[in-house]
Amino acid sequence: NLKIGVVGLPNVGKSTFFNAITNASAAAENYPFCTIGKCATCPQVDPEESRVAVPDARFDWLCKHYKPAKEIPAYLTVIDIAGLVKGAASGAGLGNAFLSHIRAVDAIFHMVRAFDEPDVIHVEGELDPLRDMEIIREELRLKDEEFLTRQVSELGAAVKRVGHGGNAADKARKEELAVVEKVFEHVKSGKDVRHGTWSNKEVEIINGFHLITAKPVVFLANVSEKDYLRKKNKWLPKIKAWIDENSNGDLMIPYSAAFEYRISLLETAEEKADALKEAGVASVLPKIIVAGYNALQLIYYFTGGPDEVRAWTVRRNTKAPQAAGVIHTDFERGFIMCEVMKYEDLKELGTDNAVKANGKYMQKGKEYIVEDGDICYFKFNV
Ligand code: GDP
């Protein structure tokens, strides 16, 4: 169950954003079987953790098509991580505790404040998103630097004890040390791990360390409601330029936490649609959720029928048997084949039988790599 954490300085709008997506998803009447906090079949959901349905027009269409008894979309788990401050990496403001929460997530929404509001104190004084992004980036990098310093010295000592030769485990440790030293130099030079070029072997070793700057990042620029409505904010071009220069052009999405929160409080879908129509803008929350999901390198395939339409989450590049294993381990163990329809074909041709009649119903073997949006039916031996 992969998670994305919301990270930023205090008072930038993290909680407002978190509450907006939580409300939006709890109010999604489409999914009555599982509203947060009230669900018997879901694991207990922490207050600072929210499971948000990933919006998808294909899923909606499949539900209309099959009219199933149960509809289960894909979910993104979002974690609200308390504000970091300057000096967090060296312990300021409970910094170390928060940074360890960040180590535990798989990707990051980096929230930056681009709204001016005299009533909402800014911990650093004047509004300056570029300075803020630099602070957060530096704290995260310092944390990795500190961690790697320890690794280099511990591994270095272990390798030295063995000297020349050694067994296979010693050789592996030597190899690991070489990689750790390389990553350490990279981080020390001021760069994030995810922007380095690494071999597959190196990636394997690096992944084991859960480094913070290795995690994918989506930047969210929180602008005032007024700026969001007029689609203009003087900081946005500068924020974009900073990201291009310092963060390899990671994705940045402008939005207004205050506006989204206000809309999320409206009870019915009609009220929301009316409010958005009146404002002349769309909610950008769906786009943010999808971007977070994509950042995690996740995709999903569908199963569909009168009982249930469901999205099954797998990592990108998962082969058919392992994808089947997400439904049940028996499906993986006894895998025979995967029958696949493409969503576009089903939509165009109208029924499963029409897809079959047109030769578009495919039978795939165990080497097939499941693609996003595939509609799958697995055959297996019991
Ligand atoms: P956090 O500390 O990052 O979680 O920030 P909060 O979400 O608690 O927001 C801090 C304050 O800023 C709250 O009083 C919010 O109502 C306010 N705030 C958040 N987003 C906006 C915005 O877009 N415009 C304005 N004017 N205020 C906002």
233 lines ligand 1 (CB under 6 A): no
Instruction: Report the C-alpha gap between 287 and 54 in whole angstroms.
Output: 9
136 lines ligand 1 (CB under 6 A): no
Residue bearing tokens 């939005």: 255
Which runs of consecutive H residues, i.e. helices, occur in 74-224?
A: 95-103, 129-162, 168-188, 200-207
CB atoms within 10 A of CB 179: 21
Instruction: Report the C-alpha gap between 176 and 201 in whole angstroms.
Output: 10
Instruction: Report the C-alpha gap between 38 and 51 in whole angstroms.
Output: 13
pLDDT recorded at residue 36: 40
| Residue 22: both structure tokens together | 């939580």
pLDDT recorded at residue 269: 86
Quick one: which atom of ligand 1 is closest to the CA of 117?
26
Q: Is 115:16 a contact under the CB 8 Å cutoff?
A: no
| Residue 371: both structure tokens together | 């693609």
Write the residue with the smallest CA distance to atom 18 of ligand 1.
13
| Residue 45: both structure tokens together | 């959901």
Quick one: which atom of ligand 1 is closest to the CA of 228?
23
Q: Single out the residue of 118, 246, 242, 133 nearest to residue 191, CA to CA.
A: 246
212 lines ligand 1 (CB under 6 A): no
On whether 166 is known to bind a ligand per the annotation, the reply is no
| 264 CA from centroid of ligand 1 (Å) | 15
Instruction: Report the C-alpha gap between 233 and 191 in whole angstroms.
Output: 28
Q: What is the DSSP letter of 319?
A: B
| 363 CA from centroid of ligand 1 (Å) | 52
Q: Is 261:275 a contact under the CB 8 Å cutoff?
A: no
Q: What is the DSSP string of 254-302?
A: EE-HHHHHHHHH--SHHHHHHHHHHHT----HHHHHHHHHHHTTEEEEE
113 lines ligand 1 (CB under 6 A): no
Instruction: Report the C-alpha gap between 74 and 300 in whole angstroms.
Output: 7
Instruction: Report the C-alpha gap between 238 and 115 in whole angstroms.
Output: 14
CATH top-level class of 1-127+216-299: alpha beta
Which runs of consecutive H residues, i.e. helices, occur in 27-103?
A: 57-66, 95-103
Instruction: Report the C-alpha gap between 219 and 252 in whole angstroms.
Output: 4
96 lines ligand 1 (CB under 6 A): no
What is 317-380's CATH superfamily? Beta-grasp domain (3.10.20.30)
Instruction: Report the C-alpha gap between 10 and 311 in whole angstroms.
Output: 35
Residue 19, classified by CB atoms within 10 Å of its CB into exposed (0-12), middle (13-18) or buried (19+), is middle
Residue bearing tokens 């959901």: 45
Write the residue with the smallest CA distance to atom 10 of ligand 1.
11
The domain limits of the chain are 1-127+216-299, 128-214, 317-380
254 lines ligand 1 (CB under 6 A): no
The architecture that CATH gives domain 128-214 is Orthogonal Bundle (1.10)
Distances (CA, A) of 138 to 91, 92, 218: 14, 14, 17
| Tens place of pLDDT per residue across the chain (382 aa) | 789 999 999 899 999 999 999 887 765 443 333 334 333 333 333 447 888 999 999 999 999 999 999 999 999 999 888 777 777 666 665 566 677 788 889 999 999 999 988 788 887 889 999 999 999 999 999 999 999 999 999 999 988 887 776 788 888 888 999 999 999 999 999 999 999 999 999 999 999 999 999 999 999 999 999 999 999 999 999 999 999 999 888 999 999 999 999 999 998 889 999 999 999 999 999 999 999 999 999 999 999 999 999 999 999 999 999 999 999 999 999 999 999 999 999 999 999 999 999 999 999 999 999 999 999 999 999 8
Which residues, in sequence order, are bridge partners of residue 311?
302
Tell me whether 0.85 is exceeded by the ipTM: yes
Q: What is the pTM of this model?
A: 0.87
Quick one: which atom of ligand 1 is closest to the CA of 116?
26
Q: Single out the residue of 296, 236, 281, 260 nearest to residue 112, CA to CA.
A: 236
CB atoms within 10 A of CB 39: 14
| 16 CA from centroid of ligand 1 (Å) | 6
Quick one: which atom of ligand 1 is closest to the CA of 223?
23
pLDDT recorded at residue 153: 94
| Residue 95: both structure tokens together | 């910094």
